[in-house]
Structure formats: structure tokens, C-alpha cells
Amino acid sequence: MEVQIRGRGIGVTDRFENYVDSKTDKVATLLPKAQTFEVRVSRLSDRSPQNGDRVEITVVGPGPVIRAESVGADKYSAFDIAYGRVLERIRRLKDRKQDRRGRGRTSLGEAASNDFGVVDLTPASLEVIESVATGSVPLVTENPSEEEYSPVVIRTKEFPAERLTTDEAVDQMELVGHDFFLFIEHESGRPSVVYRRKGWNYGVISLSDA
């Protein structure tokens, strides 16, 4: 597994490189087919409410990409937190795969067909769904000017649409550590989103033409 370390606005010392290298053995053991372990280190700007460093870790290999990031007082503490999140996401992925082999498990497709009554799911309110669908939530750019400054910052990103099954979308969500994941449902072709509830419970929201 190749290890790549990049710094943005901050120097990357040999000591830090050796520290990262010493931590990658566990990832290589859990994911023997992983190809790249990428670490990006950046210094937080003076305008940030926190002072310190940000570390972003990306593990690339066959299958879904695993990502995690964290902020710490220095790059070592930030790396340790992000690294712990990567390991947790890998373990959750393995636990889900083992859980699928068990008998008596209710699939997400079956749960959705019964309005998720078997998993005690409470759908999002109509107001929340409408606000997301209409884009009525105001956006603030990542680098607002002094006149536009707001303590609430919403980052926007755009990704190519992927056709996935619901189970595959849940796996992707767990690996990137988000609470939701947007995708195109493989069979219906509808824009959908899966989101995390307590434990192993998940919800699915799909858009229809009606």
C-alpha cells in the first residue's frame, strides 16, 4: 500500500512521515487490497473559530473509498483522531458484511416496502423534505467576505450520480462517515438518499415524478 503525505500551508517533517508510516500496518491488515493511504495536512486560517491543524485521510483501493478528517491542536493529534475514525469505518463495514450473512435479518428493501415499521423508523417531517427539495436553506460560501460573515457555514459539493442498490449506498455512507448519502436507486432510477438512525437502523427517502 502506497503512503502519500501532502501539506498545504504547513511543512511535513520526516518525523511526521515516520509517524504516519508506523500507523498504516493496521489498515493494510484490515484492507489487504488497499492501494493508497493518502494524508493531507493543512493549517487552519486565522479566521477559523479554532486554531490548529486539519488532517484528511483517504484510503483508496478496490471498492468504495474510505475518508475521514479531523481538527486538532497540532497535526499529530488531528491525525490520531482521523485515523481512529478510518479504523472505525472499516470495522463497521466488516460488521455489516457479517451481519448480512445472518438469518432473520430484515433487508432495507423489505423494510422500505413496509414503511419501515419493523425498524421503528420516524420519517423526516414534510417541512424538512420541502426545504431540501426547494433549496430554501440559505448557503454561505466557505470564504465569506467581512460583510457576508456568518457563524453558520454550509459547504456545497457536487459529485457524479451513481446507480447503487440501497445496501451499497449504506456501505458508501458508512465509509465516508456521513449521516446521509445521495444516490440513484439502481432498479427504480429515482434520486434517493439513505440516512443513519440509531444502531443499525437506516432510512431511505426517494423522489418521484408525481
Q: Are 54 and 70 in contact (CB under 8 A)?
A: yes
Burial of 58 (0-12, 13-18, 19+ CB in 10 A): middle
Q: Where are the domains of the chain?
A: 2-101, 108-206
Q: How much is the pLDDT for 40?
A: 92
Q: How much is the pLDDT for 41?
A: 92
Q: Can you give the pLDDT of all 210 residues of the chain as single tens digits? A: 889 998 888 888 899 999 999 888 888 888 888 889 999 998 886 555 556 888 999 998 777 788 888 888 888 999 999 998 888 888 877 776 665 555 455 555 666 566 555 555 566 666 766 666 666 655 544 554 445 556 666 777 777 777 888 888 887 777 776 778 888 888 888 888 888 777 667 888 888 776
CATH classification (class only), 108-206: alpha beta
Cell numbers found for residue 86: 478510518
Assign domain 2-101 to its CATH architecture.
2-Layer Sandwich (3.30)
Q: Are 4 and 25 in contact (CB under 8 A)?
A: no
Q: Cell 493496521: give the residue.
A: 26
Q: How much is the pLDDT for 203?
A: 85
First-to-final CA distance of the chain: 48
Q: How much is the pLDDT for 107?
A: 59
**Helical segments of 5-115, H only:** 14-30, 75-101, 108-113
User: Whole-model pTM?
Assistant: 0.50
Q: How much is the pLDDT for 12?
A: 87
Element (H, E) at 32: none
Q: Cell 489487504: give the residue.
A: 32
Q: How much is the pLDDT for 56?
A: 92
Q: How much is the pLDDT for 46?
A: 56
